[in-house]
Amino acid sequence: MAKILIVEARYYEHLNDLLLLGARAAIEAAGQAHETVTVPGALEIPAAIMLASESDRYDGFVALGVVIRGETYHFEIVAGESARGIMALTMDGLAIGNGILTVENEAQALERAHPTHKDKGGEAAKAALALMELRARFA
């Protein structure tokens, strides 16, 4: 049984709860185990994944969080840099499903996070599982 670490930014707790429901359901449906750790925001997710990867305890990772556009340039920095950090780690061989939502408003986030709607948490978990399978296939 593989073990997946879900790394979540709890900035918007009610939205992350929905992302977590979807991610956990997808991982459990695949018969895999999971743990969850929490970080303050999306910018900390890549660092947490990198630190956890050094333990060799996890076969894959799911990044979950929500970044909603505000009135300043901060949205672009958080959205872009968190995605860049995750992509760099995947290029180093880690199996990561990116479920960090980058949206204009809370309504968009709710639609994407809810497990019975767009289920982006579940999709991120399935992406991590698919990458884990590919890594095993090419090993």
> Which amino acids are annotated as binding site for 5-amino-6-(D-ribitylamino)uracil, given as ranges?
11, 42-44, 66-68, 98
pLDDT means per 10 residues, the chain with 139 residues, are 96 95 98 97 97 97 95 88 97 97 96 97 98 95
Is 117 designated active site? no
Domains along the sequence of the chain with CATH: 3-138 (3.40.50.960)
CA atoms within 13 A on the CB side of 14: 5
Catalytic residue among 14, 34, 74, 114: 74
Q: What is the DSSP letter of 42?
A: G
Distance of alpha carbon 58 from its chain centroid, rounded? 14
Task: Provide the whole-model pTM.
Answer: 0.96
The predicted pLDDT at position 75 comes to: 87
3-state secondary structure of 36: strand
Q: How many other CB atoms sit within 10 Å of the CB of residue 81?
A: 13
Q: What is the DSSP letter of 12?
A: S
Instruction: Note whether 19 and 120 are within 8 A (CB).
Output: yes
Q: At what angle do helices 13-29 and 120-138 cross, to 10 degrees?
A: 40
The predicted pLDDT at position 37 comes to: 98
Q: β-pairing, 3-9 with 96-103?
A: unpaired
Cβ-in-10-Å burial (0-12, 13-18, 19+) of 19 comes to buried
